Amino acid sequence: MDRATASGAVCGGSIPLRRTINVYWIARLSHAMDKIDCENTHIKVIKCILDSGRYPFIKTCLGKYISYVLEQPGLTQFFIIRILETSANELESLLKKVCSILGMGCRELVQNFGLNSDLITSEPDKFYDIYGEFGTVSRLHEEGFGKIKKIRKPANEKQKTADFTAYYGIDKYAVEVKTIRPSEITEDRAMLKRGPNGLCFNINKLSDQIKNKLRDILPRTQEQLSEMARREKCNKKLVAIWVEREASRDLLGLAQDDYGTIYGDIRLQFPEIDYFLFNGTLWFPKKPQR
């Protein structure tokens, strides 16, 4: 056997092993460079958005956090990056609206929602949680709620508190916001089923997972709302639940009937919660009347 063949012929001796290894590493390097180029492109796009002058609320309220995220690996996985690249105008309008509803300036918004301290030091991709709080303020205001007040985190971490208080007619509500993100939904092939067009998402399985997630988080939520209601003299309790679209895989999502089934299965376990508001639109039971 000649030296070339002895060095490791593969696939019937037609391709030397050394060449195969080189091709493999070249492909890996090319993939890594493509990924770097892709992230550099995202960084340029986001910096252009911040420097354009068209988004003063985003830059003032979120600029420090966004700069931090741009230094993180895998930045395209962050919710804030996705929303900036697809819905920057909507985010700017939302921030402006929330400031107006709560009677806050940008600095107060940053302090009250922990936009720098919490996001940067604890869980950088927790922005979706805060985004859910912004969305809740906006939707409650649109639904006729007034005197919406953000509750600051207590110095005593053991003290239970909810996120907001708000009035609807003569009723005073304690309001807690909860979110479900993609990372909190287990990925497994059991969630896929065979349909007429091939594999599709098993909505029943997804509904069960969201239901189980709520069963995990709602006991503490009920305690928070009850404690807030006692302390702030609220006579109604509401939990606003936001399910990130990617958590429902963006294929079929969950319909109103699915959320109705989820509510029907969990409401008896949490009798002290008067209202559930899913994704800012679905009220269970029906929206309260004045």
Domain residue spans of the chain: 143-290
Specify the higher pLDDT residue, 271 or 258.
271
CA distances from 150 to 147, 166, 186 (A): 10, 9, 32
Answer yes or no: is pLDDT of 104 > 80: yes
The per-residue pLDDT for 43 is 85
* CB within 8 Å of 113: residues ≥ 6 apart: 130, 133, 150
Question: What is the rounded average pLDDT of the residues 210-223?
Answer: 93
Answer yes or no: is pLDDT of 5 > 90: no
| 8 A C-beta contact, residue 242 and residue 178 | yes
Of 100, 91, 93, 157, nearest in space to 130 by CA: 91
Q: Report percent pLDDT > 90 for the chain.
A: 46
- The strand pairing partners of 240, in sequence order, are 177, 277
Question: What is the rounded average pLDDT of the residues 235-251?
Answer: 75
Span of 8-22, 146-160, 162-176, 273-287 with lowest mean pLDDT = 8-22
The per-residue pLDDT for 257 is 78
In angstroms, the CA 34 to CA 126 distance is: 28
The per-residue pLDDT for 116 is 78
- Give the range with max mean pLDDT: 75-79, 216-220, 240-244: 216-220
Question: What is the rounded average pLDDT of the residues 95-121?
Answer: 90
The per-residue pLDDT for 49 is 86
Mean pLDDT value across the chain? 80
For residue 38, which phi and psi values (nearest 5 degrees)? -65, -45
The per-residue pLDDT for 15 is 52
For 150-159, which contacts have Cβ atoms below 8 Å and span 24 or more sequence positions?
Answer: 150/102, 150/104, 150/112, 150/113, 151/228, 152/112, 153/114, 159/227
The per-residue pLDDT for 190 is 47
Specify the higher pLDDT residue, 183 or 89.
89
The per-residue pLDDT for 196 is 53
In angstroms, the CA 268 to CA 271 distance is: 6
Specify the higher pLDDT residue, 114 or 178.
178
Q: Using DSSP bridges, classify how beta strands 198-201 and 146-150 pair: parallel, antiparallel or unpaired.
A: unpaired
Answer yes or no: is pLDDT of 44 > 70: yes
Question: What is the rounded average pLDDT of the residues 7-20?
Answer: 48
Specify the higher pLDDT residue, 65 or 125.
65
Q: What is the pLDDT of residues 51-82, one digit of tens each?
A: 999 999 999 999 999 988 888 888 878 889 88
33: confidence class by pLDDT, cuts 50, 70, 90: very low
Look up the pTM and report it: 0.79
Answer yes or no: is pLDDT of 37 > 70: no
Answer yes or no: is pLDDT of 91 > 70: yes
